[in-house]
Chain A
Amino acid sequence: MKFILMMTGKMADWDEYTKWSKEDLERNVTFMRAFSKELKDSGVFVATEGLAAPGEAKIVRAGKDGEPITDGVFPESKEFLAGYWIIDVESPEQAYKIAARASTAPGPGGKPGRMPIEVRQVLSGHADLGL
């Protein structure tokens, strides 16, 4: 079963993050690298991506003439995707366990961030899109 583990944050969280000390950032990145390696070594890794800061995020809708209408105004409460992992595991419980580990990634001062990680099953393949 494939699951996606999503880290999200509000614009204010990014502002905080950019203020982390170099030492805190390095500790966090070291954790993330080790975490990805563990996922790869245990054979559950499918994909991971980190997204750029939401300052450049745009919302696009289709206009009447089919031209895209873009907008970059978001409510303060908006949760932006920060990054994700896709894993292929035997059970939802295994996915929760791995998500819990991601959640313990160190924050400022090396304390576990305890970030909430949203866990969702992904549809296997995309036969409905002919892919």
Chain B
Amino acid sequence: MKYILLMSGMKVGVESYLAWSQKDRDAHMAVLQRIARELTASGEFVATQGLAVPQEAKVVRGEKSAMPVTDGVFPESKEFLLGYWIVDVATPERAYAIAGRISAAPGPGGVPTNVPIEVRGFASYPEVASSSSEEITRGAKRI
């Protein structure tokens, strides 16, 4: 079963992260590296991606002409995706355990960040489903 573990934060959280000492950052990354290595070794690792800081984020809507309308104004409370891990595990509990370990990665002074990690499953994706319309509909409903 594939799960995606989403780490999000508000702009202020990102700003405080950027103010961490190099030592704190190294200690944090060392734990995330160990987790990534272990997931690779156990065959549970699928993908991970870190996103650039949210200061550059844009929201795009398509106009009638399909020309993009961009905007970069967000409410202060907006949660930005910071990064994610995709894991392929035997049970949801295993996904929660991995998320718990990521959440326990050390922050300033070695204290666990306790950052909340959102754990979500995947929809059966219509692109890979057979082309019968019934299956497409079923796939779409689960998105």
Residues of A at the B interface (CB closer than 8 Å) are 4-6, 17-18, 22, 25-26, 28-29, 32-33, 36, 47-54, 56-63, 66-70, 77-83, 86, 92, 96-97, 99-104, 112, 114-123, 126, 128-131
Known A-B contacts A33-B127, A60-B100; the reply to A126 vs B68 at CB < 8 A is no
Answer whether residue B121 sits at the interface, using C-beta atoms and an 8 A cutoff. Answer: yes
Query: CA–CA, A78 to B117, complex, Å?
Result: 14
Q: Could you jot down 27 A-B contacts, CB within 8 Å?
A: A4-B51, A26-B140, A29-B136, A49-B4, A50-B126, A51-B120, A51-B123, A52-B143, A56-B120, A56-B121, A57-B118, A59-B116, A59-B117, A60-B96, A60-B116, A62-B114, A66-B100, A67-B100, A96-B70, A100-B68, A100-B69, A103-B60, A116-B60, A117-B60, A120-B54, A122-B52, A126-B50
**Residue of chain A at shortest CB distance from B68:** A100
**Number of B residues with CB within 8 Å of any CB on chain A:** 66
Contact yes or no, B97 A50, CB < 8 A: no
**Residue of chain A at shortest CB distance from B64:** A112
Answer whether residue B119 sits at the interface, using C-beta atoms and an 8 A cutoff. Answer: yes
Query: CA–CA, A68 to B63, complex, Å?
Result: 44
**Residue of chain B at shortest CB distance from A118:** B59
**Residue of chain B at shortest CB distance from A46:** B49
Question: What string of 1s and 0s marks CB contacts (under 8 Å) between B40-73 and chain A?
Answer: 1000000111111010111111111011111000
Answer whether residue B81 sits at the interface, using C-beta atoms and an 8 A cutoff. Answer: yes
Return A113 CB to nearest CB of chain B, in Å. 9
Residues of B at the A interface (CB closer than 8 Å) are 4-6, 29, 32-33, 36-37, 40, 47-52, 54, 56-64, 66-70, 77-81, 86, 92, 96-97, 99-101, 103-104, 112, 114-123, 125-127, 133, 136-137, 139-143
CB < 8 Å neighbour of A130 from B36, B69, B101? B36
CB < 8 Å neighbour of B62 from A54, A112, A129? A112
**Residue of chain A at shortest CB distance from B71:** A116
Give chain B residues whose Cβ lies under 8 Å from the Cβ of A61.
100, 103, 114-117
Query: CA–CA, A94 to B16, complex, Å?
Result: 31
Contact yes or no, B49 A126, CB < 8 A: yes
**Residue of chain B at shortest CB distance from A14:** B143
Contact yes or no, B137 A51, CB < 8 A: no
Query: CA–CA, A92 to B19, complex, Å?
Result: 27
Contact yes or no, A86 B123, CB < 8 A: no
Return A110 CB to nearest CB of chain B, in Å. 13
